[in-house]
Amino acid sequence: MKTNLRNPVFSLIACMLLALSIGFFSCEKTVDELLPSGNPAGYDDPGYELPPFVNGQAQNDGETGGSNDAAFSFELEKSYCSRLGTNVAVRIEFENEYRVRWEVDGLASGTGMRLNCVSGRKATAYVTRIAGDITLIKSIELHTAISPVMLKTKPKTFNFTLKLVPCSDGKVNVHIKILNPQLYKYDWKLNNMPAGHDKKLSCVCGNKAQVSVTRLSDGLTTTKSISLPICTAKE
């Protein structure tokens, strides 16, 4: 059976199918073709450039504040003061950024970077960084430092002698022989009773004379005694 293309009805149907087919293919476009050119803000674009990320956090190209928990350190330095005291100082950079409180043997002993001429067993420094209010504590033993000059010029002990010089009526003067007598003080006893502070005892008798000689520079004391002639009956 042959199709009659000249049949008006069939020709109309064929034309309609052809028109629909052409229209479908001419309207098939991609999404990018349908959107306006330039990819304006609002389509996968926040409208600004995102910063790079490091370890899950946005990296800031500007200056960032430091941590107040960063550690610091300091040293304690002691120096010679006297036989009875020691100087102790805090050694730390940028001293004006810290405040210091001192204790000696557990008792409050002042503030500041230096503790002057203190005596005791142990000094403790509480050093606080003002920014962040962080405090470190350090202690040092207070063994008195000895000056090298003192080791050369001052012996640990000193010596002197007592000499009896006849006076009158069987009495005697008691003289002290010592180098640089002006550097010492003297405490006499005569027969166990206080007898003055001169450099000699004049015209005495009895049982015994005793003198304690103290070096003024360091308080070191040496004591000696000497027997005296017995006083006569009229004494």
pTM of the model: 0.36
Q: Which amino acid is it at 58?
A: A
Query: What CATH architecture applies to the domain 75-148?
Result: Sandwich (2.60)
Fold matches, 75-148 and 154-227: yes
End-to-end CA distance of the chain: 184
- 154-227: CATH topology is Immunoglobulin-like (2.60.40)
More confident residue, 56 or 13: 13
- Residue 97 above 70 pLDDT? yes
Q: What are the extents of the domains in the chain?
A: 75-148, 154-227
- Rounded Cα gap, residues 157 and 232, in angstroms: 38
What's the pLDDT tens digit per position in 190-215? 988 899 899 889 899 888 999 999 98
DSSP 3-state of 123: strand
